[in-house]
Amino acid sequence: MFSIVLEMTPATQQLISVVSILIMSFVLWKLLKKLGWRKPWMGWIPGLRMFAYGSAIDMDREGILCGILEIILLFDSFWVSSDPESSSAIIVALLYLVLAVLALIYRIRLFMRLATILGAKKRWILTCFIAEWFPFAVFAFSKRFQPQDISFTEEWKAGTKPAALLSVSGGHPAMESGLSVDLQERSVRDFTTKRYLLKDISLDIPNGSLVLLLGGSGSGKTTLVNAIIGYEKADASVVLNGGDVYRDYDRMKYRIGYVPQKNLIRGNDTVIRTVDDAAELRLPAKMSSADRSKQVAEVMDLLGLTAGQEGLVAKKSGGQLRRISIAQELVMNPELFVLDEPDSGLDGVIAREIFSKLRAVADEGKIVIVITHTPDRVIDLFDKVIVLARDSGRVGRLAFYGTPQEAREFFGKNTMEEIVMSVNRKEEGGEGLADTFIEKYARMTAEKEAGEAK
């Protein structure tokens, strides 16, 4: 399909076609065995081999279509080459061209997924245009390329059809102050396939709140954060203290701070220089030098960085590095502050110190949203808990939003970790009750809204 076609006689074309089919079949048979496909013999049968190939990499629909197109194109190629001058052959040749282009698109999609699973560079696809079987042979026989666990990729796990569940309905007016999120869906396009990452998430967070964002692996926590801060827009409305994050993003982005999992800091600068540089970049240019210095000093003092401010960043401990990363964003005085695992790799004492600082930030009237995988050691510091769960259709949904104590009562659990396990899928070691709690929370919310409306 990918190979370059040179001018040659019909008999030669047929011979090359047969040889290519045999080589490709042998290579696919070997590759299916490596991928753990239960019936690798399917690799020897044209059409069926593409179905097996697609199913082995979780792209059943694309595999079926490629299999059907392969059979059609195989017959068409022999028809065209048998009498290339006839009028019917010309029509068939045009049809062949259209179908070949369609088959090429689907084969590229399959190859890209295969490369991801085997940890190969996408540029391997270029070799397909010389000899399609070549990269498959390398993947099949080389010990370097082995199937990898890519379950951490939310797009990979995302479902194409959300479960038919009662969900929290949005559409209510945004709060005048605080953060209002009304997300209908966040989806991605995988060529013709639409995959849902998140669906039906509506919540209002008042100013002065320290909020815990909970959910199992792949539930959409980072995706939701990216949607809220406007980094990856969803089909949603996000309003922060009266300002529309999506419609006025160029202005609103300066009112939002985000600290990623990894520390992005230069090690050969001093602490004060690092934070001061961040202030110079992030604060308005019209702000005076004295006001900027005052802002930096307040942040440094709040986070306990003043005493060692002249020391090199490279010499600081893990906890100090996290506080420096926080200071770089906090110096811009954001109204919404989002942190992805600020306690990653830190022991309990240092982690609590970090969260105590974040509690102080929230107490200044800001909204602080935190993702952490060890919530129970600091849960007493939080005002609210958001629980995301992946429904039976593998789509992230809102399973709960309320205080930590309300969460314990709602799920009937004593700890946040137990709550996460209750909504995790059974194959992940959880209880598999995501759908149950998603609908339970939706009904509870609907009853509450109906009572308030009376």
Both 443 and 349 in a single domain? yes
Both 333 and 427 in a single domain? yes
Both 276 and 413 in a single domain? yes
- What confidence tens digit (pLDDT) does each residue in 281-319 have? 777 778 787 877 887 887 778 777 777 767 776 777 777
Both 84 and 206 in a single domain? no
> What's the pLDDT score for residue 282?
75
Both 103 and 209 in a single domain? no
The answer to whether residue 157 is domain-embedded is no
* Greatest distance between any 2 Cα atoms in the chain: 88
Position with higher pLDDT, 321 vs 212: 212
Q: Which of 96, 129, 146 is at the close of a domain? A: 146
Handedness of CA 11, 14, 20, 23 (dihedral sign): negative
Position with higher pLDDT, 385 vs 87: 385
When pLDDT is averaged across residues 137-155 and rounded to a whole number, the result is 70
Both 95 and 234 in a single domain? no
pLDDT at 5 over 60: no
Give the other-Cβ count within 10 Å of 346's Cβ: 19
The answer to whether residue 253 is domain-embedded is yes
The answer to whether residue 159 is domain-embedded is no
Give the other-Cβ count within 10 Å of 32's Cβ: 23
For residues 15 and 393, what is the distance between their CA atoms, to the nearest angstrom?
47
SS3 state at 77: helix
The answer to whether residue 158 is domain-embedded is no
Both 196 and 286 in a single domain? yes
Host H or E run for residue 187: strand 179-190
Both 118 and 195 in a single domain? no
SS3 state at 402: strand
Among candidates 360, 405, 361, 367, which has minimal Cα distance to 385?
405
Task: Report how far apart, in Å, the C-alpha atoms of 46 and of each of 17, 21, 50, 220, 308 are.
Answer: 12, 8, 7, 39, 69
> Where in 191-234 does DSSP place strands (E)?
193-205, 210-215
The answer to whether residue 351 is domain-embedded is yes
Percent of the chain with pLDDT over 70: 84
Structural domain boundaries enclosing 288: 174-453
Both 123 and 207 in a single domain? no
**How many domains would you assign to the chain?**
2
The answer to whether residue 4 is domain-embedded is no
Across-strand partners of 340? 371
The answer to whether residue 155 is domain-embedded is no
Residue for token digits 């520390």? Answer: 263
293 is written with which tokens?
């210095």
For residues 380 and 174, what is the distance between their CA atoms, to the nearest angstrom?
28
Both 120 and 181 in a single domain? no
328 is written with which tokens?
């770089």
Handedness of CA 46, 47, 51, 57 (dihedral sign): positive
What is the residue type of 44? W
pLDDT at 197 over 50: yes
The region of weakest confidence among 6-10, 188-192, 298-302 is 6-10
Across-strand partners of 212? 370, 385
pTM of the model: 0.67
CATH of the domain at 382: 3.40.50.300
pLDDT at 153 over 70: no
Both 119 and 16 in a single domain? yes
The answer to whether residue 161 is domain-embedded is no
Among candidates 93, 111, 99, which has minimal Cα distance to 50?
111
Both 84 and 200 in a single domain? no
SS3 state at 11: helix
